[in-house]
Amino acid sequence: MDSAIRDKYQAIIGLEVHAQLLTESKAYSSDSTEYGMLPNTNLSAITLGHPGTLPKVNKKVVEMAVKMGVATNCEITRHNIYARKNYFYPDLPKGYQITQDKTPICTFGHLDIKDAAGNDKRIGITRIHMEEDAGKSMHLPGETETLVDFNRAGVPLIEIVSEPDIRDSVEAFNYLTEIKRLVKYLDICDGNMEEGSLRCDANVSVMLKDSSLWGTKVEVKNMNSFRNVQRAIEHEIERQIMVLENGGTVEGETRNFDANTGNTTAMRSKETLNDYRYFPEPDLPPLVIEQEWLEGIKAAMPSLPQELYKRFVEVYGLPAYDAAVLTDAKEIALYFEELCKHTTNYKAASNWIMGQVKSYLNELQLHIRDFPLQPEQIAGLIALVDENKVSHSVAAKQVFPYLLEHPQLNALQVAEQQNLLQQSDAGELAQIVEAVLAENPAKVEEYKAGKQSLVGMFMGEIMKKTQGKADPKGANKLLREYLNA
């Protein structure tokens, strides 16, 4: 699209994120939520909505919803009414969904992200409400019939609805990234979009920049990755602009995103609230959240990404880049914090985790919980280097790999057993330096005549004589003293 045309318009974007909660049982029944079971095995009469059955609230679902509300600076609704949302899809066995309408459990929150230019931006959170998932329609290759797996029906969700504060696909990506980090830090959702445990619908409209009238909202569905959310938003912005530029009218509708083509296509006209015929759920009494329970949840909240980021920068003195990398995953951040209890060289601690530790985990596709070394063992590696007992190169390329294979040892024990400790005694180093210079009188004269680059050759000879164990700094200092005497 021509940039001049694109620059005439402003996109208005709001995101609806469904997070599948990590409970062992469903939202309103004791049926299992285990993923990957044979189709239609995690079912009971309650999930299927058979006559005479009664739902029962899963307390863990409420607790997880409150945690997300606290994490996104929301007000927590103390008196909650459940509602029925009525619509018919073949994968919704009851013909209605138990959700919340007038009293969402969390309201008026916000989330701070970075915009496309890297500046801080606050995105409002309209509401977070609890509801249950539908089943899954399946279309097998070569089959004309639609099959339905109801295992997912009744699995608990929270829906996180943003204000229309997002202005481009980059902000949408950053917002989703922050949501995913939060749900994983809180241990309430695994954040896996490919498996459908985190899903996103985007509401997109465009308007002329000098206009006060917002455009018609279009909802885009079926995006299974953050990158596809970006692609879908970009396509929909350009599609709507071209409709308007050609004198057309944008229709309020729900559209499907095709990851293969990068295009959106119409699915159906957009439902209104009246279409769902909300009314209070007659089989569930009001849910009242007591102050004591709420305070207990708040007290048990873990440190969150932005809190840790601030601490890593202000307390540990890390660069912003290091802090961002270390707080990307909760377990890595906690490993770093534990490591800092055993060393005061916080930058070295950061370097080791971002370097050798993450490389090892990535190469073997391991989680940090499977890493064989304890934080104090990494602190031992840092101490070896800081105390000039081994060089960083030796620590990284020789001590660290051996330690991984023998995690019952510590770094000093490995260095001693493998005869890797640096030779730093000044007297011994002086004798070696003298011997090297005595063996190369012609090179000494060349150096004195101005060929400063010969220092590298002399250092190489010193390292050969010490089998690489000479303290480089100490040896270099002594060498220059002798050469310049």
Between CA 466 and CA 453 the distance in angstroms is 21
* pLDDT given for residue 256 in this prediction: 94
- Region of poorest pLDDT, from 99-113, 197-211, 275-289, 421-435: 421-435
Does residue 282 register a pLDDT over 90? yes
Does residue 275 register a pLDDT over 80? no
- In the beta sheet, which residues pair with residue 96? 86
Largest distance between two CA atoms of the chain: 102
pLDDT digits (tens, 9 = 90+) for 36-93: 899 999 999 999 999 999 999 999 999 999 999 999 999 999 999 999 999 887 888 8
Domain ranges across the chain: 3-292, 303-417, 426-483
Residue 272 binned pLDDT confidence (cut-offs 50, 70, 90): low
* pLDDT given for residue 424 in this prediction: 61
Between CA 231 and CA 169 the distance in angstroms is 8
Phi, psi for 129 (deg, rounded to 5): -130, 160
**Mean pLDDT of the 372-400 span:** 94
* pLDDT given for residue 133 in this prediction: 94
**Torsion sign, CA atoms 234, 240, 241, 242:** positive
* pLDDT given for residue 19 in this prediction: 97
Q: Is residue 184 within 8 Å of residue 328, measured between CB atoms?
A: no
Residue 193 binned pLDDT confidence (cut-offs 50, 70, 90): confident
pLDDT digits (tens, 9 = 90+) for 295-344: 999 999 999 999 999 999 999 999 999 999 999 999 999 999 999 999 99
Between CA 377 and CA 408 the distance in angstroms is 10
* pLDDT given for residue 423 in this prediction: 63
Average pLDDT in the chain: 92
pLDDT digits (tens, 9 = 90+) for 390-401: 888 889 999 999
Domain 426-483 fold is: Arc Repressor Mutant, subunit A (1.10.10)
Between CA 175 and CA 182 the distance in angstroms is 11
| Among 108, 111, 64, 65, CA closest to 306 | 111
Cβ of 167: how many Cβ atoms within 10 Å?
A: 15
Residue 138 CA: distances (Å) to CA of 36, 91, 141, 145: 14, 10, 10, 9
**Mean pLDDT of the 99-120 span:** 96
* pLDDT given for residue 297 in this prediction: 97
Cβ of 343: how many Cβ atoms within 10 Å?
A: 19
* pLDDT given for residue 271 in this prediction: 61
Phi, psi for 81 (deg, rounded to 5): -115, 130
| Among 3, 7, 15, 5, CA closest to 243 | 5
pTM score, two decimals?
Answer: 0.85
| Among 201, 124, 207, 117, CA closest to 166 | 124
pLDDT digits (tens, 9 = 90+) for 218-246: 999 989 899 999 999 999 999 999 999 99
Residue 273 binned pLDDT confidence (cut-offs 50, 70, 90): low
* pLDDT given for residue 201 in this prediction: 96
